[in-house]
Structure 1
Amino acid sequence: MPMPPSDGWYLLGPFIAVALVGFLGAIFWRMGLQWTQAREDPLRELYEGLAIFGDAEDYGLLCPAAATDDPGIAEEIRSLLSAAGIRSTSAERPDGRLLVLVFPEEVDEARRLVGGSPAL
């Protein structure tokens, strides 16, 4: 059975779809990502404190249990908490200090265990 002749019009639909997705992606990238990263943006003070735009002091579900300047001490605190069965991680603050973070239900116990660590 012979195949019907084609002249390439069947490629037009997928080409238009790919071009449209690329065009919309470029527009949304320009509107979204570039807008939040601009330092001279006059609206920056309106969204600076929102966590969705990268608030440095927002750690999601985790709470700070200890703070230190030394990464070695932060690892010792984390291993102490791990030995006690408390899951933890660390994060760096904008001023360079390291925070040891735990879940809210374990923060009181973690702070008791750490005891003599520098204050937050």
Structure 2
Amino acid sequence: MPPSDGWYLLGPFIAVALVGFLGAIFWRMGLQWTRAGEDPLRDLYDGLTIFDHGEDYGLLCPAAATRDPVIAEEIRALLRAAGIRSTSATRPDGRLVVLVFPEAVEEARRLVGGSPAL
């Protein structure tokens, strides 16, 4: 086949048409549910809350919570003076949580006392 009669365009045209056809099929079958705003698979994994343990701080345990960063820093200073290592994290609701290691959580909660302990 000489390239001057136009047959060389048939291969790319078939490829583009096939990709467009498959894209339309996949869109119709698989992606149409995303436009509805509701997940049709929600009923299937609604009861699977195995991994939803709320807040996960790894090896650390919450010892106290407050909304004021100054109070959180005062609690950390109090724990530091008692020889307890601590850090703080922010919860999704905006409260600050003072975290300690599990072996020191009871002592830390006793020391904190008046703050809103968890």
Distance 1:92 1:47, change over 3 A: farther
Residue correspondences, number:
79
Alignment map for 1:7-86 (pairs within 5 Å): 42=41, 45=46, 50=51, 57-86=55-84
Aligned to 2:105: 107
For residue 56 of structure 1, report the CA deviation from its aligned partner. 5.2
Q: How far, CA to CA, are the matches of 1:91 and 1:40 in structure 2?
A: 33
Query: Are the aligned partners of 1:56 and 1:94 in contact in 2 as well (CA < 8 Å)?
Result: no
Structure 2: where are the runs of 5+ without partners?
1-36
Aligned to 2:117: 119
Query: Are the aligned partners of 2:60 and 2:100 in contact in 1 as well (CA < 8 Å)?
Result: yes
- The SS at the match of 2:87 is strand
**TM-score normalized by structure 1?**
0.56
Q: How far, CA to CA, are the matches of 1:45 and 1:102 in structure 2?
A: 33
1:111 maps to amino acid: R
Q: How far, CA to CA, are the matches of 1:72 and 1:100 in structure 2?
A: 12
Query: Are the aligned partners of 1:56 and 1:93 in contact in 2 as well (CA < 8 Å)?
Result: no
Specify the structure having the higher radius of gyration (Cα). Answer: 2
1:100 maps to amino acid: V
Aligned to 2:87: 89
Structure 1: where are the runs of 5+ without partners?
1-38
**TM-score normalized by structure 2?**
0.57
Query: Are the aligned partners of 2:65 and 2:115 in contact in 1 as well (CA < 8 Å)?
Result: yes
Q: Give structure 1 regions of 4+ aligned residues with deviation exceeding 4 angstroms.
A: 43-49
Distance 1:90 1:40, change over 3 A: farther
